[in-house]
């Protein structure tokens, strides 16, 4: 049967998500989940929905109520919001909408590996433009004619950020759309002293004629990775086009109710992101004491490398001790450990084991 597949599907490797262990007792620091529970208001909204008869009916295909809340929070027209089943769904919609077969997706590298997988599925090419040594965008940008250019900001796995001004310059240089993937944007907004605004680069996206699209997720800062909810911000006319590409009911009624209530609870978001930012600072300092090179992160993870020895054995030793982190190896950039910021107790456990290992 597989001979009938499109050749690019047969040829591609597929994206490998971080491991989700089936057994308990694991300190899980490999997929940037939030160690704190979601907002109690989000949980309550979902419990209310389950008690109503709303699951019997189809959900609102456009998530109108959610878009109103998100529009207000980001200072944009609610018609400029597109809902998604996680931001990965949004990235898929954008690829299907903009990238033809044999087309081109470009992203700074190293970054989120899904961008090149999306190119593979589409039968398109992917090209990585290396970050500069200090993790900024090269100027002038060398590849202006991509069908889609994607910049994760903060970036993964490095946790580094580029300024909104640099992104605005990049957008003006490009001949195509610029997607700014702000999956970790709320952690940057909570980081001092270089804090970005809570709205991230949303102001670049909403205007008519803008070629900027922002993607956001509730998986990280809102602690709703299991719910699967993300959204895009762009000009209302572009969102009108993208709606044609998405599944009619790509977000279920439960996730819409939870996502809206989560966004309405900004005070809870502020409290939990502040705790994560504080743990991140302590963890960065202690990892450096243990001989790791750690980039200053504005996300909910850190990128730890070593110049004195390979890190893969450290990853394996941690795994044997029931601590999961993400080992990554980028050709041209070497390898490292991407370690999510867990609870203080989880990070204490990580640091204690690392002291024994290194
Ligand atoms: N963008 C980046 C940079 C990510 O790291 C992730 C998480 N793997 C996502 C998007 C997707 O997140 P989700 O689909 O859970 O919204």
Q: Which pLDDT tens digit goes with each residue over 53-109?
A: 999 999 999 999 999 999 999 999 999 999 999 999 999 999 999 999 999 999 999
Does position 133 have pLDDT exceeding 90, yes or no? yes
pLDDT of residue 343 exceeding 80, the answer is yes
The finding on whether 86 has its CB within 6 A of some atom of ligand 1 is yes
Is any atom of ligand 1 closer than 6 Å to the C-beta of 337? no
Cα–Cα distance measured from residue 48 to residue 190, given in angstroms and rounded to the nearest whole number = 31
CA-closest candidate to residue 110, choices 92, 132, 90, 88: 132
The confidence band for 193, taking pLDDT boundaries of 50, 70 and 90, is low
- The β-bridge relationship of strands 334-340 and 323-330 is antiparallel
pLDDT of residue 117: 97
111 touches ligand 1 (CB under 6 Å): no
CB of 59 within 6 A of ligand 1: the answer is no
For the Cβ of 156 lying below 6 angstroms from any atom of ligand 1, the answer is yes
Our answer on whether the CB atom of 219 is closer than 6 Å to any ligand 1 atom is yes
Which residue is closest in CA terms to ligand 1's atom 1? 183
Looking at ligand 1, which atom is closest to the CA of residue 18? 8
Place of tokens 């001092």: 192
Least Cα distance to 342 among 320, 319, 316, 323 occurs for 323
- Of the ranges 75-79, 187-191, 319-323, which one carries the lowest mean pLDDT score? 187-191
The percent of residues above 70 in pLDDT, for the chain, comes to 99
Ligand 1 centroid distance, CA of 66 (Å): 20
183 C-alpha vs ligand 1 centroid, how far in Å?
A: 6
pTM of the model: 0.97
Distance between CA atoms of residues 176 and 100, nearest Å: 13
As a whole number of angstroms, the distance between CA 19 and CA 31 comes to 8
**Distance from chain centroid for Cα 215:** 8
**Contacts of 5-8 spanning 24+ positions with Cβ under 8 A:** 6/123, 8/120, 8/121, 8/122, 8/123
């Amino acid at each position: 049967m597989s001979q009938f597949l499109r050749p690019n599907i047969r040829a591609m490797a597929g994206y490998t998500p971080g491991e989700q262990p089936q057994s308990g007792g694991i300190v899980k620091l490999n997929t940037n989940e939030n160690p704190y529970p979601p907002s109690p208001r989000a949980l309550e909204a979902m419990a209310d929905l389950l008690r109503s008869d709303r699951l019997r009916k189809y959900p609102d295909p456009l998530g109108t109520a959610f878009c109103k809340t998100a529009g207000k929070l980001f200072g944009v027209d609610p018609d400029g919001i597109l809902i998604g089943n996680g931001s990965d769904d949004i990235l898929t919609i954008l690829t299907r909408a903009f990238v033809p077969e044999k087309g081109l997706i470009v992203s700074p590298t190293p970054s989120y590996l899904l961008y090149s997988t999306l190119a593979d599925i589409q039968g398109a090419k992917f090209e990585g433009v290396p970050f500069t040594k200090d993790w900024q965008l090269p100027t002038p940008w060398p590849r202006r004619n991509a069908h889609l250019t994607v910049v994760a900001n903060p970036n993964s796995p490095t946790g580094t950020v580029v300024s909104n001004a640099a992104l605005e310059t990049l957008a003006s240089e490009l001949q195509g759309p610029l997607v700014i993937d702000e999956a970790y944007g709320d952690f940057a907004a909570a980081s001092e002293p270089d804090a970005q605004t809570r709205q991230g680069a949303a102001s670049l996206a909403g205007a008519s004629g803008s070629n900027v699209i922002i993607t956001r997720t509730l998986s990280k800062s809102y602690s709703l990775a299991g719910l699967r909810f993300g959204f895009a911000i762009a000009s209302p006319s572009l969102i009108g086009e993208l709606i044609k590409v998405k599944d009619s009911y790509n977000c279920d009624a439960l996730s819409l109710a939870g996502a809206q209530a989560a966004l309405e609870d900004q005070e809870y978001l502020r409290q939990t992101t502040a705790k994560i930012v504080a743990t991140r600072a302590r963890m960065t300092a202690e990892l450096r004491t243990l001989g790791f090179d750690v980039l200053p992160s504005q996300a909910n993870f850190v990128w730890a490398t070593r110049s004195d020895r390979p890190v893969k054995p450290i990853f394996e030793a941690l795994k044997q001790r029931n601590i999961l982190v993400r080992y990554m190896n980028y050709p041209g950039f070497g390898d490292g450990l991407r370690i999510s910021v867990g609870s203080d107790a989880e990070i204490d456990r990580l640091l204690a084991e690392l002291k024994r290992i290194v």
